Structure 1
Amino acid sequence: MSLFTLNEVKKTFNNGQIKEEILKGVNLFLREGEVTALVGSSGSGKSTLLTIAAGLQSASDGEVLFEGKNLSQMDEESIRKIRATDFGFIFQFAHLVPFLTVEEQLLLMLDVSESKLKKHEQMSVVERILQLVGMEHRKNAYPSSLSGGEKQRVAIARAIIHKPKVLFADEPTASLDSKRSKDVMALIREITKNLKITTLFVTHDEEMLSYADHIIKMSDGLIVQHS
């Protein structure tokens, strides 16, 4: 059984008196420890699909099943708890809190995820995760002193600090140059495999597809290729 399944997911927006169908019945399944890439032209529906899977917006129709539980039938508070405890998020820009150090960014995420760890245990986890992403030497640095690649490494650390089961990444390398993009995607893949996380990422950069186990191509609100 897959960890994550989407069945006939549709999304419709009302644009004045016209209904605009963004997703037209998408079926998708994700397995533990695998990296899946979503690709397609602008307006194909890939980012909408990711945000629906992540519980950031609701589907107009269809099922979003996580561990057999239907997110489509849950209230907002139940979905919020799943997002906080079981999901991790990486976006195009790191969106770090400017007045917090690298270490404090991760401690804040542990608080948001309602971690039951004691203070010394939290510090141990932070140290281990920073070592994993190669940022332990920058733990006392503020975002303004970090490079773009370093900021994304911190964003990745923040996304996995609470041991999520699913990692969602929306254009995680779009703001980086080619070398830093490859470094970040290699890190995401390594973490997915080592921590047995299920990763779904959106990209427009074909060079990043080599880091995926599966590639899903979307066009006009439908999956047109799955490899």
Structure 2
Amino acid sequence: MPLIQLTNVSKAYREPVSGHSVPVLKGINLQIEAGESVSIVGPSGCGKSTLLNILGTLDEPDTGEYRFEGDSLQGAGPTKLGQLRSAKIGFIFQLHHLLPQCTVLENVLLPTLALTPKPDQKAAQDRAMDLLREVGLDHRASYKPAELSGGERQRAAVVRALINAPKLILADEPTGALDEANADTLTNLMINLVENSGISLVLVSHNPTQAQRMKRVLHLHEGTLSV
């Protein structure tokens, strides 16, 4: 059974001035297995972020079906989707979105606050420190984001995405603000963490070098997805 299955998914947005419907995704069919890494590439504005938002249950398709671990999300309410998102999906963005007033450890632990039931606090903190150690940031746990380099902030964001042991990581241009060396380091880190834990990774990237590192590369063009 695939982790993710999209069947004939379409999405359109209404143009604010004319009121016309503008199609963004057209009949998308996509299947992703557990532990698989996939990159989605395509020109700016082609719908990559829209597709990622649908996969992350931040947006809903107009037509078609989304199944996660075999369960259809069609008609699922915000509570169920929120619980799924918190427990099984991790997000990494181009901008790290770390809270400046919180330490690295506090930022990493933030997603655990949304879990139901709440995890054991000591167990969550121990897992956070283990993950920070794995990415070489345990000595920065008490630092604030402003005291970290750009690469360190993104590594902290990766750990935050992993803290709830998700089944799926969605990465939207995670290396876009990094130089080539730090981009390579972050991509290596994501690949190693995903392969060692069986998590699925979907990467959106304008960087062809980083995109080719995934096991499968898909192209989104004019609303359609192809190999």
Q: TM-score when scaled to structure 1?
A: 0.96
- 2:121 is matched with 119
The 8 Å contact of residues 2 and 30 in structure 1, kept in 2 or not, is answered as yes
Are 1:8 and 2:5 an aligned pair?
Answer: no
Q: CA RMSD in A?
A: 1.2
Quote the Cα distance in structure 2 between the aligned partners of 1:155 and 1:56: 19
Deviations 1:55-100 (A, max 9, x none): 0111010011101112232011110110011100000100001011
- 1:177 is matched with 179
> How far 1:115 sits from its partner (Å)?
5.8
Quote the Cα distance in structure 2 between the aligned partners of 1:48 and 1:98: 28
- 1:21 is matched with 23
Quote the Cα distance in structure 2 between the aligned partners of 1:120 and 1:209: 37
The 8 Å contact of residues 11 and 22 in structure 1, kept in 2 or not, is answered as yes
Q: Residue 3 of structure 1 aligns to which amino acid in structure 2?
A: L
> Which consecutive residues of structure 1, in runs of 5 or more, have no partner in the other structure?
none
- 2:220 is matched with 218
Quote the Cα distance in structure 2 between the aligned partners of 1:210 and 1:18: 36
After TM superposition, the structure 1 stretch with the greater mean CA deviation from structure 2, 119-128 or 18-27, is 119-128
Q: Residue 100 of structure 1 aligns to which amino acid in structure 2?
A: C
> How far 1:104 sits from its partner (Å)?
1.1
- 2:146 is matched with 144
Moved over 2 A (4+): 112-120
- 1:59 is matched with 61
Quote the Cα distance in structure 2 between the aligned partners of 1:107 and 1:114: 14
1:22-41 aligned at under 5 Å gives the runs 22-41=24-43
- 2:105 is matched with 103
Quote the Cα distance in structure 2 between the aligned partners of 1:142 and 1:88: 22
> How far 1:112 sits from its partner (Å)?
2.3
Quote the Cα distance in structure 2 between the aligned partners of 1:68 and 1:106: 29
After TM superposition, the structure 1 stretch with the greater mean CA deviation from structure 2, 171-180 or 99-108, is 99-108
Kindly tell me: are residues 17 and 123 of structure 1, through their superposed partners in 2, closer, same or farther at Cα, counting changes over 3 Å? closer
Deviations 1:30-54 (A, max 9, x none): 1111110000001221111111111
- 1:88 is matched with 90
> How far 1:109 sits from its partner (Å)?
2.1
- 2:51 is matched with 49
SS in structure 2 of the partner of residue 128 of structure 1: helix
The 8 Å contact of residues 38 and 217 in structure 1, kept in 2 or not, is answered as yes
SS in structure 1 of the partner of residue 74 of structure 2: helix
Quote the Cα distance in structure 2 between the aligned partners of 1:184 and 1:71: 32
Quote the Cα distance in structure 2 between the aligned partners of 1:12 and 1:121: 43
Q: TM-score when scaled to structure 2?
A: 0.96
- 1:208 is matched with 210
The 8 Å contact of residues 10 and 62 in structure 1, kept in 2 or not, is answered as yes
The 8 Å contact of residues 94 and 152 in structure 1, kept in 2 or not, is answered as yes
Number of aligned residue pairs: give it: 225
Quote the Cα distance in structure 2 between the aligned partners of 1:115 and 1:202: 32
Quote the Cα distance in structure 1 between the aligned partners of 2:212 and 2:134: 22
Q: Residue 113 of structure 1 aligns to which amino acid in structure 2?
A: L
Percent identical pairs in the alignment equals 34
> How far 1:19 sits from its partner (Å)?
1.2
